[in-house]
Structure 1
Amino acid sequence: MEGLGMAYTRAKVVEEISATADRVFGEIGAFNNLPVIMAGTITRSTLDKKGVVRTLRIKGMKGSLDETLLKYDTAARVQIYTITADPNDLAPFNDYTSTVKVKPITSRRSAVEWTSRFVPKKGKTKAECIEFAEGIYRLGIQGTRDVLGVKK
C-alpha cells in the first residue's frame, strides 16, 4: 500500500443546502446516485451484487473507477468509501478514502461535509490533488441542490 509511512494529503468542502438533512442525504448519500447528482460527468454507476462496490464511468475518460462502500449509516447520515484499485488510472492520487456527512443546521437547512485523505501520485502536487478532489465534491453538492430544486 503506497500510503504506508507517508503523510496523507487531505481535502475538505463544507457547504450548506436549503433542504432537510434527510432529503440531502437521500441524494448525496445514496451510494449509486452519482450519475444523478453529477449528471454529465459521471455517465454510469453500477453496483456489485452485494451493493458495496460501485464501478463508475466518467465522461471523456477511458476505463472505469471502482469504489467500495466502507460505512453507510442513515441515522448518522454518514457514508465512507474508498477507491478499490490502487493504483488507479483515473484519479491523480492513490490510497484514497472519503467521507460524506450531512448535518442538520435548522429544520430546513443542512450542511454537507465531504472530506478525504489520499497520497498524491508521483509527479502530482498536493495542490493539484486537493483541487481535483474539492472540485468533485463541489460538483456533487451543487448537483444535489439541482436535484432537490434549491438554489443554495
Structure 2
Amino acid sequence: VRNLRINFRLDKDTTFEAVKGISFDIPKNATVALVGESGSGKSVTSLSMLGLLPKENASVLPGSEIRYDGRNLLELDAVELRKMRGADISMIFQEPMTSLNPVFTAGFQLGEVLRLHMGLSPGAARKRAIALLDEVGIPDAEYKINAFPSQM
C-alpha cells in the first residue's frame, strides 16, 4: 500500500479525508492486524484493499496504490476483485456476527463463499462449513449450520 488517501463526500460541497497517505507492506502469506485508535482509518483502509468502499460517497484519491501480485487493485474491475476476495485476500470484520445476513442460514452463507472461491460442490461446501464451525469451537456444528445468525 503506497500513499493511500481516501475521501468521503459528506454533502454536495464538503469532503472529509479519512485516510491521509498511509503506506505499508504486507509480507507474502502473512496475517496482519491493523491496530490504532478508534476513527484512525483501520476499517476504511481494509475495505479499500478489498474494493468494498461505498461508491456513492467514498473515493480513493489519485496517486494511491494498493499492489498485490504485481497489479494495482485500484485498477481492477468488480469481477476481478470478486475473484480475489476470499481466495487471495480476506478480512475478518470487527463484528463478525453483524457481517452475516440475518435472512440466510450460517450454512448457506459459508457454503456460498466456499462454492464461489474454492469451487466446491454444494455437498462438499456443506461438509467443509461444518468442519470450519467445529474448528472455531462452535458447539453442535452440524445443528448450527442450519441456524440463522441470530440463533448462533
TM range (shorter): under 0.3
- Structure (1/2) with the larger helix percentage: 2
